[in-house]
Structure 1
Amino acid sequence: MQRIPLPVPGAPPSPAAGFEAPFDMLGACHERVARMLRLLARLREHAAGHGADTAGSEAARDVMRYFDVAGPLHHQDEERHVFPVLLAQGDAVACRTVGRLLDDHRAMEAGWAQVRQTLQRLRDAVPAPAFAFTADEQAQMDAYAALYARHLTDEDGIAYPAAQALLQPAQLQAMSADMQQRRLG
């Protein structure tokens, strides 16, 4: 079966990060988000040229699996460990940033529900050489990707460095343990 390649052939894989370095793990997740958004873009191109085929169905499955499972866990990590430390310092800029990032999480949940339905429609259509995403579906995917891109920039450039500077070693250990527990049970 042919796989839909990411747009950068030979790109290094997303970095592997362990629970002992929670901010490295959060950063690695951001890299995987970006890879999944690039795969979503390639899937759109692929569907335009090939319709709903097995390769497109598998790519849709990969994107759905990632945003169904890893995305919510990642947002929980931030909401449990990154954002509270920023809010606790009481800085107005940090509080506004966290408020916007929390709003983004809710908007991403709603946007993902729409994008997921679109990807499921593609999966359900296989095989369908004449499959096409609607203009509304295209707009929803564009909006989802744009929101995520801005959100990642805000977290990587503002929230993560600020929180990392504030967290003590014991807090980082607790963060690591919680992240591991929620993933591995």
Structure 2
Amino acid sequence: MSSRVDVLHAGPAVGFDQPFEMLAACHDRVRRSLDLLRRLHAHVEQQGVDAQARDAAADVLRYFDRAGPAHHEDEERHVLPRLRAAGLAGLADRLHAQHLEMARLWALLREPLQQWARGEPAAMPAQALLDHMQLYEAHLAAEDAQAFPAAQIGLDPATRDAMGEEMAARRRS
């Protein structure tokens, strides 16, 4: 596990003036956070809850407690309605259901991570961890390959700009 876990929170190179590029950049951060979570779990099993594990647990919590939910809200507000309007309600419904399941699984992982962040030992529910990671990986792949390209079809500049402005404004409040 790297001793520099703070790189997870470096901002993406794109801005909210490019909302779909921003969403894709967030997917890269999700993947890094999932990788950190995977490595953290292995580290704690081998080394226990040391300072490195406490820092990594705090970073994973920060990402999935703050940035992750904001990203899902972006998709719920701006991507899924466009998919439904494009006749892809099945895809939109599946992605929405996955957002709900990811939140449910995260709730199971959150308490052990909070304990690790405090330097306390805790058992991580292995099946919930595996399910969370696998679901996220499949979800990201579907969004990258299907949802984002479909949602951008016919997107006019004014709508794109409004989308980016809303995403940015919500994060400022």
Same fold (TM over 0.5): yes
Q: Does 1:50 align with 2:54?
A: no
* Structure 2 counterpart of 1:110, one-letter code: R
- Give 1:28 deviation, angstroms: 0.5
Percent sequence identity is 44
Shift of 1:85: 1.2
Answer whether contact 1:30 1:152 (CA < 8 A) is retained. Answer: yes
Report how many aligned residue pairs link the two structures.
167
Aligned counterpart, 2:139: 151
Aligned-residue offset at 1:121: 2.5
Q: Does 1:138 align with 2:138?
A: no
Answer with 163-172 or 173-182: which moved more: 163-172
Q: Which residue of 2 aligns with 1:21?
A: 18
Report the counterpart of residue 110 of structure 1 in structure 2: 104
Matched, 1:184 2:155: no
Say if 1:14 and 1:31, in contact at 8 Å, map to a contact too.
no
Q: Out of 153, 156, 163, which is 1:165 matched to?
A: 153
Q: Find out whether 1:95 has 2:89 as its counterpart.
A: yes
Structure 1 CA distance for aligned equivalents of residues 55 and 128 of structure 2: 21
Q: Give ranges in structure 2 of 5+ residues lacking alignment.
A: 4-9
Secondary structure in structure 2 of the residue aligned to 1:36 = helix
Q: Which moves more between the two structures, 56-65 or 113-122?
A: 113-122
Q: State the alpha-carbon separation in 2 of the partners of residues 120 and 73 from structure 1.
A: 20
The alignment yields a C-alpha RMSD, in angstroms, of: 1.7
State how far apart, in whole Å, the 2-side matches of 1:153 and 1:29 are.
13
Distance 1:45 1:64 in 2: 17
What letter matches 1:64 in structure 2? L
Match in the other structure for 2:34: 37
Give the Cα–Cα distance (whole angstroms) in 2 for the partners of residues 74 and 15 of structure 1.
Answer: 13
Match of 1:141, as an amino acid? L
- Report the TM-score when normalising by structure 1: 0.85
Task: State the one-letter code of the partner of 1:164.
Answer: Q
Partner of 1:10: none
In terms of Rg, which structure is larger?
1
Tell me the distance in 2 between the aligned counterparts of 1:33 and 1:47. Answer: 21
Asked if structure 2 preserves the Cα contact closer than 8 Å seen for 1:43 and 1:59, the reply is yes
Quick one: distance in 2 between partners of 1:68 and 1:166?
33
